[in-house]
Homo-oligomer: A and B are copies of this chain.
Amino acid sequence: MLELIRRDGLARICRLHTRRGELETPCLLPVVNPRLITVRPRELYDIFGFQALITNSYIIRNDPLTREAALRDGLHQLLDFPGVVMTDSGTFQSHMYGEVEVQNREIVEFQRDIGSDIGTVLDIFTEPEWGRERTAESIEVTLARTVEAEGLKGDMMLAGVVQGSVYPDLREDCARRLADMKVDVHPVGGVVPLMEHYRFADLVEVIVASKKGLRPDRPVHLFGAGHPMLFALAVLLGCDMFDSASYAKFARDDRFMFLEGTFRLQDMKALECQCPACAGHDLEEIRGMTHSRRTELIARHNLWVSKMELERVKRAILEGDLWELVERRCRSHPALLDALRSLGKHQEFLERFEPLSREHALFYTGPETLNRPAFLRYQRRSRERYQHPSTEVGITFEEPEKPYSRTLRGAMGSILEISDAHFHVISPFGPVPIELDEIYPISQSLFPKLVDQQTRERIDRLMEDLAHNHGYRMGAIWEGEGTLEILRMLSKGRGCFDIDMARVGAVADYQFGKGAAEALLEGNVTLVKSKNVDRIRNVLVDGEHVASLRAEDGFFTLHPAGARRLLGGLAAPRSRVVVDDDSVEFNRKGRNVFCSFVLDADPELRPQDEVMVVDGNDVLVAIGRAQLTREEMLCFRKGVAVKVREGA
């Protein structure tokens, strides 16, 4: 059973509960070949801290010695590994050597009988060069075998493999059908040839298609992926588990894995690695070692680099800069840049998991950054949810410093006056109404000063859209340092256009959807500002504290009075999470909402959204922040759905 602990978009840190205890993901399972040990399983567990490994049941079964030992003493004793042991079924061998002489039933039963914690169906490896038909047919066989395995697995966890070659629709369909079966782990199979040929863009398509079909409460295992250069990207797309024999295979022919790629010992001109395996050794010394000692050293290096990168990726999930990490990693090879660029096709899908905001600023690393779901999010919400202030009275500078001109368009940070007298800040997000210029990611983003062609053209296009969609007539543009501050002062000075009132209304609608501002702010509004900086902190309506504006991301934190107003103004299920009566009392006391008690939720919820927890009669129970999407809340049986801040 899988429990989600922390997440950033599709990327997640989870706990997989197994009969051998908990396995933290994302994780790498080193491949151990019992007939050719490079690094002892005990060392993998004790020194490297790998909680799980994967070995091949087909190889064990083919060798009478290992077969007997495994059946007699069990897999864990055979390998001397106290952690989780996953087994593969021989599918990869069939990919390598054509057929294998074993039946699905036999190999699944064997895995169960030797005490494998996670056994794998004997699926059919769909090769990238296969046609649709052959692929589709072989998927049917894989699925039939998975059904057969369900009945044989006993209390062993079962890995049901997503196949489908490079056909996204077949992958998604296969995944969807596997999601309905009694399977515990979902490897994405048949991808090794794609990785071997650096077809990373195709790999992205395969992973995304599989994720679309699978259910969120099962770990996704990228079968055969073990190169650290891929981890960040694969985790970003929602992969939880990796395995690899490469650390040892590469080591045997003197190849070092690095985040930047794989390097041959004979080509390397220096070794600056300080990993526990390399520290204190230099190239000459390593070249002088016996092959077996050298292989061990390089294998350990490869394992350390892999382990460290997974730790780095986890840290990025926790600190909110995984996208930045992925964009950096994908500059290591043009084929990875292709993969990064291909993410643009999936902005729509990724946006469904994009959090409301992040702790880390959004860094622009190149035009590919514009494909991040955060950009689509802003485009859509500002178009659908933003209404410019009704006031017809506007501010006008004494005299426009510069007239509107083509050359000025897209000058970042400059101000565009809309003819009916409200103002937009020009940014790579497009023209941003100044009322929204403090919400994530607008004011939490960093762009280079030298604007590239693609960004400039994007800005121009978005300005056209604005004029087009809203029928705005473009006004003057003002430029230069502090223009925005001047504007704010002016707007306050004149009082004709109250930027503060406009801001609370605009943010409410942007955050909770149209109608929210009306519901939340109906009445006599007072804004309490922080003394030191001139920023709105608390919003009171008719003397009641309805909401606070967070400094870090510019969005609202609701208070009970505000939540009740929203409940009244926004029709169910908007901004709601409905909980079971058994949960109500706990949540009233301020305890978190657990997935198993969620009856329903707003399908539009995004991670970190501010939500109202209600009972079956739509009565307010608590207020908090959603950790999951609706689908996830309803699917997971363990873990927190809503972090409750305040009971009602």
Mark A residues whose CB is within 8 Å of B.
Answer: 201, 260, 267-272, 274-276, 279, 304, 308, 311-312, 314-315, 318-319, 327-328, 331-335, 337-338, 341-342, 363-368, 446-450, 452-454, 457
Contact = CB atoms under 8 A, between A and B. Distances in A.
Given A308-B274, A337-B364, A450 B331 contact: no
Contact of A449 (B271, B308, B338): B338
A575 B622 CA distance: 82
A274 B311 CA distance: 11
Nearest to A361: B334
A641 to B, nearest CB: 22
A308 B273 CA distance: 7
Given A448-B335, A449-B201, A270 B363 contact: no
A320 B333 CA distance: 15
Contact of A279 (B270, B276, B331, B333): B276
B304 A274 contact: yes
Contact of A272 (B270, B308, B335): B308
Given A328-B332, A331-B331, A448 B315 contact: no
Given A331-B366, A334-B448, A447-B334, A270 B454 contact: no
Contacts of A270: 311, 314-315, 318
B318 A337 contact: no
A274 B276 contact: yes
B337 A331 contact: no
Contact of A454 (B314, B363, B447, B454): B454
Given A452-B454, A453-B457, 14 more contacts: A267-B319, A268-B315, A269-B319, A270-B315, A271-B315, A272-B308, A274-B275, A328-B331, A334-B447, A337-B448, A338-B448, A341-B452, A367-B367, A454-B454
Q: Which of A269, A274, A341 has the most CB of B within 10 A?
A: A274
A203 to B, nearest CB: 13
A334 B314 contact: no
A560 B274 CA distance: 48
Q: Which of A201, A332, A364, A366 has the most CB of B within 10 A?
A: A366
Given A450-B342, A452-B454, A337 B308 contact: no
Contacts of A271: 315
Nearest to A453: B454
A338 B447 CA distance: 9
A332 B319 CA distance: 15
Q: Which of A271, A327, A453 has the most CB of B within 10 A?
A: A453
